[in-house]
Copies of this chain bind each other. A is one copy, B any other.
């Protein structure tokens, strides 16, 4: 619900039209959103009673305003801690690579390290005049660096342990046994 909530939050600062919301979102977070999604999201916000659509003004801009319910939800969203993603794709992938005979875990680690290293370099090279955007970039850099450290850890664990401890039996036919 990130896009939806973010749009609602921006709307909490004052009425905006769709295209403008997209620009504001990108200006504030440094991210990007598909324009089409902004419009469908605005429809849904209105459907849910969190925003209301105004008449087109002289310039043809269709302004949306936040409702009382919407404002409450937006402020609630801001202070609520984020739900953890139930699945970390990289971790799941590596777990499977390790328990699947013939899967190339080392190859995954190498490829992932290459990509993440490049990404860190790219982010480090960016200039940020804006504090908020600098913090967003910093969050990414830190998480990528943690990932790189984890990848190294994985390599060393695999090196010491691989031959015997990772054998995953083929799922058996018949009754499965609980872990």
Nearest CB in chain B: distance from A21 CB, A: 8
State the majority secondary structure of interface residues on A: helix
Q: A: which residues have CB within 8 A of B? A: 2-3, 5-6, 9-10, 12-14, 16, 19-21, 23-24, 26-32, 57, 59, 61, 63, 75, 77-82, 84, 86-101, 103-105, 107-108, 111-112, 114-116, 119, 131-133, 135-136, 138-140, 142-143, 145-147, 149-150, 153-154, 157, 161, 165-166, 168, 170-171, 173-174, 176, 178-179
**What is the count of identical protomers in the complex?**
2
Query: Are A91 and B29 closer than 8 Å at their CB atoms?
Result: yes
**A79 and B108 contact, Cβ closer than 8 Å, known pairs A142-B150, A149-B142:** yes
Provide a sorted-by-A list of 9 A–B residue pairs whose CB atoms are within 8 angstroms: A9-B100, A9-B103, A28-B95, A78-B105, A88-B143, A132-B166, A135-B153, A138-B150, A145-B146
Residues of B contacting A32 with CB < 8 Å? 86
Using known A-B contacts A31-B86, A93-B77, A108-B78, determine if residue A146 contacts B142 with beta carbons closer than 8 Å. yes
